[in-house]
Structure 1
């Protein structure tokens, strides 16, 4: 899951954000002169759906190994904790490159940059599918993470820049719907496909989808200009803006907690004797995530703080349920529902919070959010692997609960900035 700023798009005054994890930004006047101008225009749905598919490819490439770890580890000749590092190295590639790539490509035209990123996914997924060497697979996954750094540096802002100002929040919701679809349909479908055929087939299907997407983007997505050099603010200045550090802390720890379990969910379920049901559990989780996205999309402008608190509590409740009653399959499925309901809207909530707290520094705040998001995913893969080796998968739920306590505390304390009790044009 992997979130991202666009250096070219224009930000409303409070800024909406994606469904996922990645990030919009305030934009220069040049962006308003393009397809995003004209308040009487409707949403460019064909273009936004292409961007949603790009988000889907990015998110699914990142999370697909979660349902395929046992098969991947067997073929690559490593243990499941080592196979789990395919998630870690992907996130590391994004974390290390998101900010420098955002800066280096800020002046690129958006369409060229998006096509470059998608071509990177096609190449990396193909190598992953055909590789029998663990080192080569890890290298391909790192390259996929770098491609994600490019993609997340522009997707959310690109979507906003294609829509009139009054519809930018809705445009983001459409484009970022690729994340919950990846979780609700993509990962379960990829897991099932890997189970009935071969895990490599799942990655080859991703390559085929990406090749089709390249043609779709070329034909249907309008271009937008990049930023001029004088319009690129220093990245770290956003840390001095009240509320931004709180949002970044919540992002780091919440994503870390989620990834500890999600990256090793196949191993966790296998230890419960439910390994054959991994695809179904992920489907339930993903379907609940879609419901969460819908609820957040409908209420975020009025209830960002309340929704963030509720999401944190729901994920913590799911973890506690897994820790106490995971021996009963019905409670595992119930926990998957609570987990999905809590987590599904979190990327949108955090990116919206970062954008609004950042104000004039929203693009910098979003760039740091994307970086920390992926640092947390990388750290979650490492921490989950260590826990699996030393304490067993039964330690995952309680690790989540422990990590979510400070998350909840920071959200509750950030009443004035970050997660304010009162927001412009809305309520808590």
Structure 2
């Protein structure tokens, strides 16, 4: 059992957590970089820009399909070699894309990257949770997931700018080199944890049936659905609100900067008031959608609303993943997060589809009203999930595994536990 005095006296293993955060950064950048390079990649591969866009779709589809089976297949292996193996897979994929003049080979490389990405997303939050005492779990996960925010806010624009200066092939080659360098950093600073022995492995369906898991997955789905309805079609909505003329980039920059602020605030509050912080973030997002639905025609209102939306959304993944790890226990967190990876990608795809249908049939003005019921549903699930999924008390202190399971596997930076 982890006590409050142990939490206060513990220090975060910053170097190891930053290595995991850099891994998240590289994975997101690998996933999204082709979207910013469509005009330059299309002629080189001899295909249309839309088919280059499928390189992003292929990555997401492979991640969706691979997360659960690969996590199940690899549960018994030592965790650090699995982590480094996924990084090497990303490096190989990026190197193949950098060298390839064949669309088929590039697409196959992207499928490999997606499978490796699905493996990583199932591991990162769980790995961070095992590196710290339970009372620091939320902050550790916030540090790791900050890599996602930084990749969206800074990495993708910087990668696109680098490709414009030195060519898209050099940009992918640089990504491959960064992934290889990360292997050394992970080997040096991230602790080695054993795999899970066969007798200790909880079946996926049994893990999913634990109290708290399904509500957290439901919140993940509803939030991503609502977010993608708006985010995917921000450009046409901005034009509808009279903020067109190429100024969508400004809104995206405002959103990205606000997500950084949101994850910082979340890192401060996640281990003390996780339930209240998540309820506030979802309520703020819902309020923003109401404002966008009624008053988006004023530029200042639009920009301010996007900033508040970014701040609310920026911290939500950390809060939700922390709740998921607390509900599953660190020992089975990889199982739970692999399920969440599948749900997350489902939300991204279905939200984009729902937003597109609303845009085509009802116009851009309908987008906030389409997203609002979805975000409201996430808010309701959190409000009702006080007992298991989103408890009011600070999670984790003395509660490293679900009730009824031994608590002897609490991990500090100097101890090990089962995977």
Please give the TM-score of this superposition, normalised by the length of structure 1: 0.77
Query: Which position in structure 2 is the counterpart of 1:281?
Result: 251
2:223 matched to 1:254? Answer: yes
CA contact (8 A) 2:139 2:268 kept: no
Find the counterpart in structure 1 of residue 340 from structure 2: 369
Alpha-carbon displacement from aligned partner over 1:315-372 (angstroms, at most 9, x marks no partner): 3344444455555544443233112111111111111222223358655433322221
- Higher gyration radius (CA): 2
Q: What's the counterpart of residue 349 of structure 2? A: 378
CA 1:111–1:307: 2 relative to 1, 3 Å:
same
Map of 1:119 onto structure 2? 88
- Report whether the alignment pairs 1:402 with 2:403: no
Q: How do residues 192-207 of structure 1 correspond to structure 2 at under 5 angstroms?
A: 192-193=161-162, 202-207=171-176
Q: How far 1:56 moved relative to its partner?
A: 0.9
**In the alignment, which of 57, 67, 71 is matched to residue 26 of structure 2?**
57
Picking from 320, 333, 336, the partner of 2:306 is: 336
User: What is the root-mean-square deviation of aligned Cα atoms in Å?
Assistant: 3.8
The equivalences for 1:41-190 within 5 A come to: 42-65=11-34, 77-78=47-48, 85-129=54-98, 136-163=105-132, 167-190=136-159
**Structure 2 residue aligned with 1:420:** 391
The whole-number CA distance in structure 1 between the counterparts of 2:84 and 2:29 is 18
Corresponding position: 1:298 with 2:268: yes
Q: CA deviation at 1:147?
A: 0.6
- Aligned partners of 1:122 and 1:211 also within 8 Å: yes
- Per mean C-alpha deviation after superposition, the further-off stretch among 190-199 and 290-299 is 190-199
2:66–2:115 contact (8 Å) kept in structure 1: yes
Deviation at 1:119, TM superposition (A): 1.6
Moved more, 289-298 or 189-198: 189-198
Structure 2 unaligned residues grouped into runs of 5+: 398-419
Deviation at 1:146, TM superposition (A): 0.6
Q: Secondary structure at the match of 2:75?
A: coil
Residues 333/68 of structure 1: CA separation in 2 closer, same or farther (3 Å cut): farther
Distance apart, 1:406 and its partner CA: 1.9
Distance 2:119 2:359 in 1: 32
Q: What is the aligned length?
A: 393
CA, structure 1 residues 366+275, in 2 after alignment: closer, same or farther (shift >3 Å)? farther
Residues 316 and 125 (structure 1 numbering): CA distance in 2 closer, same or farther, change over 3 Å?
farther
Q: 2:20 touches 2:144 (CA, 8 Å); kept in 1? A: yes
Q: Distance in 2 between matches of 1:417 and 1:336?
A: 32
Relative to the length of structure 2, the TM-score reads 0.78
The answer to whether the 8 Å contact 1:189/1:279 transfers is no
Deviates most, 390-399 or 45-54: 390-399
Between the aligned partners of 1:325 and 1:72, the Cα distance in structure 2 is 39
